[in-house]
């Protein structure tokens, strides 16, 4: 079991207490391609933040690769994020004054990898994603799809066990959305990386093998979707 | 553990600074101006002090001069308004009764004398009678020959040392005038030396360049002065404060000449140590002001840096959040912001130091005549190093608050503001 959540609760205390996660139990196996689906305000982003060790939870347990993730020091949390998790964001979150290759290098910089090695590896990953020609371009010179592929290369470069993608297609048109999802699927199948996608689009969720529905802070239905027919089924329903 | 400062870190810092050139430039300008002002004022102050001190050059700093005037108070049966003179015997009296005195040198002076070499060349000068030890009071700058010595005085030789202007007027052709004879009031004197000293700010009985100095015994005889001495100059021994002994000097002379002990106008005592003290204090005050203004400007500049860094951190919330999300530790973020601040402060400050050094070098160039520097305006190397160190410290302080703020940024913040 790569990820295991037991009765995780999270309340935001901004003025009025807001109970966002109300006892989440969830387990995800190594090598799964999962989507978490829910409407906005359902708590899916909060769940993703907790899975990515970007945020703390109040009660319960979160085991990541048999380590209890709780009350970690900032340094350890940063180290886990750096080595175990790759992030892909809706708005790409590339650093605008760095070129594509520099953006991809950045996680390795924080690992202390020497510059030449870093550059080599970054170029290798850009090639893998078909971006060699764009290596020295700045983010604002690239299309949304290209930016997202750079972001994926950045997520991959530390060879993480998990990729957490928060609405990875949210800012893309439908054609590039399909391409990005195909890419994630390929990474899952060929590299065996566990991928968790958070989305509110059923079309996107349909590309994944398992769909976890979340509603009002509670896990609802968990659909097996090996045949990728969920979307059609939903439409028929 | 990575070294604190490698090329990678440096590139990261440079990237962030250069990304916002105009803002970095304006921020740096505050620090630049502060350091520039501080260095320029320090150098300028030093130079001015140099210039002023030059006025006293060649003048013993613990000298006291006694001169006489008519009495203003009746004393011991004498009416006020009496004219009196110092006597040659006062020299030995003072030496015997005030052991703290180093040199006591008497002098006489005769104003407006006409000095001639031949029918065509003449000059007007002050004829001064002095002893060899007068050189301890007002150091002559001998260009040719020598100063008057004890033998000249004892044997009442008819020799003279002429001042620069007198030399230039009597010997317009230049060259050594030694051994030549000049006439003063019908007597012939052999030139034994030329005093090249130009006017310092202090001169006793006329400028050195206008003087023709002859042995005092010769002067007393030639001009029938008898025992009369016009001026007594004395210096105190090493480590003695002149003001401590002047009351005793006054008392001894006053008693001998029946002058009221509190008649300050009848006996005029000029203590150069007091004057030097005033100048010294003046420059202490000026220096204090310089540092106050300079450091104030610098501080304002540094606060500017801190402010801009604060804005910058706020603007870069997303960027810092991303860095945190992909594995930067808070410590690394802290290090980056502080380093940025140090680099910005240091580069701007160094530019300020360099610029002020260039300006001061220009001033020195302008003050140099015939290859001789009149006053040193340049800031000493030590001061510059100190300023650089100070800048580093200020850079850290300026970066501290923004860096702490940056450390508070959570990686989740990267995903907000969308």
Note the pLDDT of residue B202: 62
Note the pLDDT of residue A234: 56
The shares of helix, strand and coil residues in chain B, as percent rounded to the nearest 5, are 55, 20, 25
Q: Is residue A16 part of a domain?
A: no
**Residue B329 Cα, gap to closest chain A Cα (Å):** 5
Note the pLDDT of residue B203: 67
Task: Give the CATH number for residue A175.
Answer: 3.40.50.300
Question: Cβ of A81 and B325 within 8 Å?
Answer: yes
Average pLDDT over residues A171-195: 88
Q: Is residue A17 part of a domain?
A: no
The token duo for B277 is: 């003290």
Provide the residue range defining the domain that includes A184. 32-42+81-236
Task: Please tell me the total count of domains within chain A.
Answer: 1
Note the pLDDT of residue A44: 85
Q: Is residue A57 part of a domain?
A: no
Does the pLDDT at position A237 exceed 60? no
Residue of B8, B324, B414 lying closest to A78 (CB–CB) = B324
Note the pLDDT of residue B161: 93
Q: Is residue A24 part of a domain?
A: no
The alpha carbon of B227 is separated from its chain's Cα centroid by a whole number of angstroms, namely 40
Q: What is the mean pLDDT of chain A?
A: 87
Average pLDDT over residues A169-176: 85
Question: Cβ of A89 and B327 within 8 Å?
Answer: no
Question: Cβ of B328 and A89 within 8 Å?
Answer: no
Note the pLDDT of residue A122: 92
Strand order in the sheet with A3-14: A16-28, A3-14, A59-64, A67-68
Q: Is residue A214 part of a domain?
A: yes
Q: Is residue A114 part of a domain?
A: yes
Q: Is residue A10 part of a domain?
A: no
**Residue B417 Cα, gap to closest chain A Cα (Å):** 10
Q: Is residue A183 part of a domain?
A: yes
Note the pLDDT of residue B269: 86
Pairing of the two strands B228-229 and B86-87: antiparallel
End-to-end CA distance of chain A, in Å?
A: 33
Q: What is the pLDDT along chain B (418 residues), one digit of tens a residue?
A: 344 556 777 777 887 788 778 888 888 888 898 889 888 888 888 888 888 777 766 666 778 888 888 888 888 888 888 888 888 889 989 889 988 888 899 999 888 888 888 878 888 889 999 999 888 888 888 888 999 999 998 998 999 999 988 998 888 888 888 999 999 988 899 999 998 887 655 667 778 888 899 999 999 888 988 888 998 888 888 888 888 888 888 899 988 888 888 888 888 888 887 877 888 888 888 888 888 888 888 888 888 888 888 888 888 888 888 888 888 888 888 888 888 888 888 899 899 999 999 998 888 888 777 666 777 788 888 888 888 888 889 888 888 999 998 888 888 776 654 4
Which bin fits A148, alpha (ψ -120 to 50), beta or left (φ > 0)? alpha
| Close Cβ partners of B212 (under 8 Å, ≥ 6 residues apart) | B113, B115, B125, B126, B127, B128, B160, B161, B162, B163, B166, B182, B184, B189
Note the pLDDT of residue A112: 85
The neighbour count for residue B323, using CB atoms within 10 Å, is 26
Which bin fits B183, alpha (ψ -120 to 50), beta or left (φ > 0)? beta
Mutate to test the interface with B, among A73, A95, A144, A162 (most CBs of B within 10 A): A95
pLDDT digits (tens, 9 = 90+) for A96-126: 888 999 999 999 988 888 888 999 999 999 9
Kindly report the pTM of this predicted structure: 0.68
Residue of A81, A93, A97 lying closest to B19 (CB–CB) = A97
Average pLDDT over residues A173-184: 87
Please give the Cα distance from B84 to B70 (Å, whole number): 7
Q: For residue A156, what is the nearest residue in chain B, using CA coordinates?
A: B326
Note the pLDDT of residue A202: 84
* CA nearest neighbour of A227 among A204, A210, A202: A210
This complex has an ipTM of: 0.84
Interface size, chain A vs chain B, as Cβ–Cβ contacts under 8 Å: 71
Question: Cβ of B15 and A154 within 8 Å?
Answer: no
B3 touches chain A (CB under 8 A): no
Average pLDDT over residues A29-56: 88
Residue of B12, B323, B327 lying closest to A79 (CB–CB) = B327
Whether the CB-CB separation of B328 and A78 falls below 8 Å is answered with yes
Question: Cβ of B411 and A81 within 8 Å?
Answer: yes
Q: For residue B407, what is the nearest residue in chain A, using CA coordinates?
A: A74
Please give the Cα distance from B42 to B48 (Å, whole number): 10
Q: Where are the beta strands (DSSP E) in B121-271?
A: 122-130, 142-145, 159-163, 181-184, 187-195, 211-215, 228-229, 231-236, 267-271
Question: Cβ of B415 and A166 within 8 Å?
Answer: yes
Q: Which B positions 312-371 lie with beta carbon below 8 A of chain A?
A: 318-319, 321-332
Residue of A89, A90, A109 lying closest to B8 (CB–CB) = A109
Note the pLDDT of residue B415: 65
Does the pLDDT at position A194 exceed 90? yes
Does the pLDDT at position A236 exceed 50? no
Whether the CB-CB separation of B308 and B345 falls below 8 Å is answered with no
Please give the Cα distance from B44 to B36 (Å, whole number): 12
Average pLDDT over residues A70-94: 87
Note the pLDDT of residue B193: 92
Pairing of the two strands B368-369 and B372-373: antiparallel
């Amino acid at each position: 079991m790569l990820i295991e959540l037991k009765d995780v609760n999270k309340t935001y205390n901004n003025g009025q207490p807001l109970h966002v996660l109300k006892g989440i139990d969830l387990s995800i196996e190594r090598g799964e391609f999962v989507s978490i689906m829910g409407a906005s305000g359902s708590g899916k982003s909060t769940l993703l933040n907790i899975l990515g060790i970007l945020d703390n939870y109040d009660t319960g347990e979160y085991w990541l690769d048999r380590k209890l993730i709780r009350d970690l020091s900032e340094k350890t949390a940063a180290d886990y994020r750096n080595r175990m998790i790759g992030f892909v964001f809706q708005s790409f979150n590339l650093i605008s004054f760095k070129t594509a290759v520099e953006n991809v290098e950045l996680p390795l910089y924080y690992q202390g990898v020497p510059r030449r090695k870093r550059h080599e590896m970054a170029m290798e990953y850009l090639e893998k994603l078909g971006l060699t020609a764009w290596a020295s371009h700045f983010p604002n010179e690239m299309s949304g799809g290209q930016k997202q592929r750079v972001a994926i290369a950045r997520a991959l470069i530390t060879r993480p066990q998990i990729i957490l993608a928060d609405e990875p297609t949210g800012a893309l048109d439908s054609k590039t959305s399909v391409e990005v999802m195909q890419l994630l699927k390929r990474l899952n199948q060929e590299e065996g990386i566990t991928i968790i996608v958070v989305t509110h689009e059923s079309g996107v969720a349909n590309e994944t093998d398992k769909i976890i529905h979340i509603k009002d802070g509670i896990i609802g239905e968990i659909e097996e979707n090996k045949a990728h027919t969920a979307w059609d089924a939903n439409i028929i329903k | 553990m990575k070294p604190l400062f490698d090329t990678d870190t440096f590139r990261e810092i440079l990237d962030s600074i250069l990304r916002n050139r105009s803002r970095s430039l304006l921020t740096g300008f505050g620090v630049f101006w502060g350091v520039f002002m501080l260095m320029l004022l320090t150098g300028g102050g030093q130079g001015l002090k140099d210039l002023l001190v030059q006025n006293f050059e060649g003048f013993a700093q613990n000298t006291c001069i006694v001169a006489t005037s008519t009495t203003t108070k009746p004393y011991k049966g004498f009416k006020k308004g009496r004219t009196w003179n110092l006597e040659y015997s006062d020299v030995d009296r003072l030496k015997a009764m005030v052991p703290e005195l180093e040199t006591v040198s008497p002098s006489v002076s005769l104003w407006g004398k006409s000095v001639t070499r031949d029918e065509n060349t003449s000059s007007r000068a002050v004829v001064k009678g002095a002893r060899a030890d007068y050189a301890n009071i007002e150091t002559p700058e001998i260009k040719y020959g020598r100063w008057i010595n004890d033998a000249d005085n004892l044997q009442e030789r008819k020799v003279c040392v002429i001042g620069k202007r007198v030399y230039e007027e009597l010997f317009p052709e230049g060259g050594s005038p030694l051994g030549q004879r000049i006439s003063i009031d019908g007597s012939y004197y052999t030139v034994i030396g030329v005093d090249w000293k130009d006017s310092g700010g202090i001169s006793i009985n006329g400028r050195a360049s206008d003087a023709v100095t002859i042995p005092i015994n010769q002067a007393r005889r030639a001009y029938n002065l008898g025992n009369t001495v016009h001026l007594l100059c004395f210096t105190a021994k090493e480590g003695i404060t002149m003001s401590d002994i002047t009351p005793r000097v006054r008392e001894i002379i006053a008693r001998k000449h029946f002058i009221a002990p509190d008649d300050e106008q009848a006996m005029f005592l000029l203590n150069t140590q007091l004057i030097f003290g005033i100048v010294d204090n003046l420059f202490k005050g000026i220096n204090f002001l310089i540092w106050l203004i300079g450091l104030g400007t610098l501080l304002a500049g540094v606060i500017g840096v801190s402010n801009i860094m604060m804005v910058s951190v706020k603007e870069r919330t997303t960027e810092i959040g991303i860095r945190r999300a992909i594995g930067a530790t808070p410590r690394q973020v802290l290090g980056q912001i502080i380093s940025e601040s140090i680099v910005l402060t240091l580069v701007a400050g160094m530019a300020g130091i360099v610029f002020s050094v260039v300006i001061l070098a220009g001033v020195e160039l302008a003050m140099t005549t015939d290859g001789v520097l009149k006053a040193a305006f340049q800031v000493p190397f030590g001061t510059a190093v100190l300023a650089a160190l100070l800048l580093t410290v200020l850079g850290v302080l300026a970066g501290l608050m923004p860096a702490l703020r940056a450390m508070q940024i959570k990686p989740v913040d990267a995903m907000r503001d969308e």
